[in-house]
Amino acid sequence: MSKSSELFEMANALIPGGVNSPVRAWKAMGGDPFFVVRGKGCTLTDEDGKIYLDYVGSWGPMILGHAHSEVVAAVEEAARDGLSFGAPTRREVDLARMIVEAVPSIEKVRLVNSGTEATLSAIRLARAYTKRSKIIKTIGGYHGHHDALLAAAGSGVATLAIPSTPGVPDSVVQDTVLVPYNDIDAARDAFARHDGEIAAVMVEPIAGNMGVVPPQPGYLETLRVLCTEHESILIFDEVMTGFRVAYGGAQELYGVLPDLTTLGKIIGGGLPIGAYGGSHEIMKRVAPEGDVYQAGTLSGNPVATASGIATLQLLRSSGFYEELEKKAQKLMRGFQKGADDAGVPIQINSVGSMMTVFFTDKPVVDFASAGAADGKRYAKFWRSMLDQGIYLPPSPFEAFFLSISHSNRDLDRTINNAALAFKSLSE
């Protein structure tokens, strides 16, 4: 038995499902997950000493690769000065300034501890600001695990095919209005049916938790117009896309500005952090400036903010996103050629350095078309890549994330192994 499997057995006796977040249990892929000992650059080493090329990157934030020397140095320096104070520090101001300067729609920002906290706080604020209750959410969109947004969710909820989650009261779900992603008419219709009741539209501007599904032309623009017309708050969940698809996130890329933005793990360089922000006008309602309560001892933690500042400083360097995108283009071209040569129909959806390979010959534009792709084929492809030391997301409903530390050699190796994996599917 491998050391990872031994650990997984022990973990199962102590932790539900043996993991602290569901997708990492590899349920939809089969087999026991590896347990990570260390990450360096674009590689992970497991308990059995096996080394993997990592295309999960802690679900996005490791855009620089694991254990980047400058980020680690910043973390060490901060840790030496103390791990948590529950009192303000200079680094909170510095990181807040970097976020405000980067993200076009954010004038004021509140740091929290995770993407989940960010989205739940943004919703509370939107409801308070509009004095309304209902939230429009896209089917297959995932915004963390809090009650209001778990209905028809992507990520682990989709991976495990959990239709609705026990423990979420009907009264909460009644205020969540579901619409298909990329469906302008459905969004219009939802506003018409609930005229004057919609507090907010919560949307991933580039869906990433049903696999990557880019917005169709005009989709985000229409949501913007609808929210303005109906005096509702447009919330972009940029936990995945912020500082990933561009320094200013998807809103910079598409030029559509939300009222509120949520950010996550990448602004802590992988350490636990999140943030929500928007205009002065809305954000001034947050306590203690305003009356919408939201708090946290660990919020703005000195080590997490040090890691975030060091990460964002490196992302600002000129040509960073161009270089990352070039790598992503190379990888996608290689994947597509491997699949074409093997006669395996795939669709690669991507924006910048996040992408998903769907095993289908039809375009994937929403959760229904993502779900219609062949998940079993993805699992076979995934296993064959893993056997060759390449770690892709253990779910057909998650994104591959590339880092700047993936070298051309790493990409060539991945492409060659993918060609073999596609070939084995067609045999």
Binding site residues, ligand HOZ, CB under 6 A: 21-24, 59, 155-156, 209, 398
Query: Helix count (H) and strand count (E) of the chain?
Result: 15, 14
Give the pairing of strands 108-112 and 134-139: unpaired
- The answer to whether residues 292 and 284 touch, using CB atoms and an 8 Å cutoff, is no
Angstrom distance (rounded) from CA 60 to CA 299:
21
Choose the catalytic residue: 175, 183, 237, 259: 237
Long-range contacts, stretch 213-220, CB < 8 angstroms, 24+ apart? 213/140, 213/181, 213/182, 213/349, 213/356, 213/364, 213/365, 213/366, 213/370, 214/349, 214/350, 214/351, 215/182, 215/254, 216/182, 216/365, 218/184, 219/182, 219/184, 220/250, 220/254, 220/256
Please, what is the minimum distance in Å from the beta carbon of residue 22 to ligand HOZ?
5
What is the separation, in whole angstroms, between the first and last Cα of the chain? 30
228 to 86, 221, 245, 277: CA distances (angstroms): 38, 11, 25, 18
For residue 414, what are its two tokens? 């991945």
Please, what is the minimum distance in Å from the beta carbon of residue 139 to ligand HOZ?
16
Q: For ligand HOZ, give the closer residue by CB, 155 or 347.
A: 155
Please, what is the minimum distance in Å from the beta carbon of residue 46 to ligand HOZ?
16
Angstrom distance (rounded) from CA 203 to CA 157:
17
Angstrom distance (rounded) from CA 214 to CA 212:
6
Choose the catalytic residue: 108, 134, 265, 327: 265
- The answer to whether residues 349 and 369 touch, using CB atoms and an 8 Å cutoff, is no
Angstrom distance (rounded) from CA 83 to CA 269:
16
**142 is annotated as an active-site residue:** yes
Choose the catalytic residue: 55, 129, 142, 391: 142
**265 is annotated as an active-site residue:** yes
Q: What is the CA radius of gyration of the chain?
A: 21
Angstrom distance (rounded) from CA 211 to CA 366:
10
- β-sheet bridge partners, residue 348: 357
Please, what is the minimum distance in Å from the beta carbon of residue 33 to ligand HOZ?
10
**237 is annotated as an active-site residue:** yes
Q: For ligand HOZ, give the closer residue by CB, 164 or 317.
A: 164
Angstrom distance (rounded) from CA 262 to CA 118:
6
Please, what is the minimum distance in Å from the beta carbon of residue 90 to ligand HOZ?
31
CB 334: neighbour CB atoms within 10 A?
17
Q: For ligand HOZ, give the closer residue by CB, 11 or 96.
A: 11
Please, what is the minimum distance in Å from the beta carbon of residue 56 to ligand HOZ?
9
Angstrom distance (rounded) from CA 219 to CA 149:
21
Q: For ligand HOZ, give the closer residue by CB, 27 or 383.
A: 27
Burial 117-150 (b: 16+ CB within 10 A, else e): bbbbbbbbbbbbbbebbbbbbbbbbbbbbebbbb
- The answer to whether residues 74 and 306 touch, using CB atoms and an 8 Å cutoff, is yes
Please, what is the minimum distance in Å from the beta carbon of residue 156 to ligand HOZ?
5
Please, what is the minimum distance in Å from the beta carbon of residue 144 to ligand HOZ?
8
Q: For ligand HOZ, give the closer residue by CB, 92 or 204.
A: 204
Q: For ligand HOZ, give the closer residue by CB, 52 or 129.
A: 52
Catalytic residues: 142, 237, 265
